[in-house]
Amino acid sequence: MATKPPEPLAYSRLGQVDARTPLVIAVPHAGQLYPDDMLAAARLPRAALETIEDRHADLLVADAVRDGAVAIVARMARAYVDLNRDEREIDPTILAERPPAGALIATAKVSGGLGVLPSRIAAGGAVWRRPLTFTEIETRLALAYRPYHDAVAAALDAAVARHGVAVLIDCHSMPSIGGPGPRPRVVIGDQHGRSSDARYVAAVIQTVRRAGVGVARNHPYAGGHTLDRHGRPEAGRHALQIELDRALYLDAAHRAPGPGLAVARRLIAAIAAALIAETDAQAIAAE
């Protein structure tokens, strides 16, 4: 009897082998693998490192996968490597060696401590007890970062080959947004129109509103590197980032799944169905 091939260390691929639908879901920040060598290099305990996870965001996609979507779910922790950053987004203060000219890029995320390797987090300050070598960083990129993005790209390629179009949901969770006025519980990012046709954004917004949930577009989250890398509307690859309020699906401590998980899963599935329906409508219009 044939045995199932071992699961890649970097990610889990959920869904059927073929592209049953044009929809691909990426979940980059829900990984909970913390390698021993990383924990040894960290000055913060694992409990502090876990605070930057999109905790249990992988559970949100189960209904959409059941309905035909493919999902690429990161297994390695965000503290090990942040898959929603450019691999050059490295804080030079964590390096043991002088970087070659042009090897790094300075961004607001790097300045805030959340580059491709987090350097500082709110739950404890500096992450690492010692500087990291380029060899250590390259190991993380080769082991976890590049295989994950290769898998996302392959799933999108398969969808385009079968359906002529692909839509990517980059699935995240966010802290509750405060402030005056109605509170958005879902934020849709499309890089201010660069990563997706506006029709797909409109379909998502309409679906969320129909569910009675507050929604915002591009503020405060417009999308990160995943959209930059994989969203190419001119080539039939549309990419949206979806941020879901953690209070919708986690318990009060934001540590374990809460009573709202089933409803949140159905909302993600409804968003997925709306995007698939929109691709079908576009195909009919093009005939």
What average pLDDT does the structure give for the chain?
Answer: 94
Residue 80 identity (one-letter amino acid): Y
Specify the pLDDT at position 280: 75
Please report, rounded to a whole number, the percentage of residues in the chain having pLDDT higher than 90.
Answer: 89
**Greater pLDDT, 252 or 5:** 252
User: Residue 139: its pLDDT value, please?
Assistant: 96
- Lowest model confidence (mean pLDDT) among 5-14, 76-85, 99-108, 183-192: 5-14
Mean local confidence (pLDDT), 157-173: 97
Superfamily of domain 11-30+55-83+141-286: Zn-dependent exopeptidases (3.40.630.40)
- Segments making up each domain of the chain, as ranges: 11-30+55-83+141-286
pLDDT tens-place string over residues 246-284: 999 999 999 999 999 999 999 999 999 999 999 976 655
**Binning pLDDT at 50, 70 and 90, where does residue 178 land?**
confident
What are the DSSP calls for the chain, one per residue? -PPPPPPPSSEEEES-SS-SSSEEEEE-S---B--HHHHHHBSS-HHHHGGGS-TTGGGGGHHHHHTT-EEEEE-B-TTT--TTS-TT---GGGBSSPPPTTS----HHHHTT-SSS--EETTTEE-BSS-B-HHHHHHHIIIIIHHHHHHHHHHHHHHHHHHS-EEEEEEEEEPPP-SSSSPPSEEEE-TTTTSS-HHHHHHHHHHHHHTT--EEESSS----HHHHHH-BGGGTEEEEEEEEEGGGTB-TTSSSB-TTHHHHHHHHHHHHHHHHHHHHHHHHHH-
| Whole-angstrom distance, CA of residue 43 vs CA of residue 118 | 12
pLDDT at residue 2 is higher than 70: no
Cβ-in-10-Å burial (0-12, 13-18, 19+) of 259 comes to exposed
Cα 132 to the center of its chain, rounded Å: 25
Residue 103 C-beta-side C-alpha neighbours within 13 Å = 12
Query: CA-to-CA distance for 55 and 142, rounded, in angstroms?
Result: 24
Q: What does the block give as tokens for 118?
A: 């987090």
Please state, in angstroms and rounded to a whole number, the distance separating the CA atoms of residues 267 and 162: 26
Q: Cβ(275)–Cβ(23) under 8 Å?
A: yes
Q: Residue 39 has which token pair? A: 């924990």
**Residue 29 to residue 218: CA distance in whole angstroms:** 19
pLDDT tens string 201-217:
999 999 999 999 999 99
Predicted local distance difference test score (pLDDT) of residue 80: 98
State yes or no: pLDDT of 7 exceeds 80.
no
| Predicted confidence (pLDDT) at residue 180 exceeds the cutoff of 80 | no
Q: Say how many C-beta atoms besides its own lie within 10 A of residue 128's C-beta.
A: 19
pLDDT band at 182 (very low <50, low <70, confident <90, very high): confident
> How far from the centroid of its chain's Cα atoms is residue 31's Cα?
10
Judged against a pLDDT cut of 70, whether residue 181 lies above it is answered with: no
- How large a percentage of the chain has pLDDT more than 70? 94
Q: Which two tokens stand for residue 173?
A: 């969770």
C-alpha–C-alpha distance, residues 122 and 135, integer Å: 27
The answer, yes or no, to whether residue 286 has pLDDT greater than 90, is no
Contact assessment for residue 236 and residue 164, using Cβ atoms and an 8 Å cutoff: yes
According to the model, what pLDDT value does residue 1 have? 44
Task: Give the whole-angstrom CA distance, residue 71 versus residue 26.
Answer: 6
Q: Is the pLDDT of residue 135 over 80?
A: yes
More confident residue, 267 or 182: 267
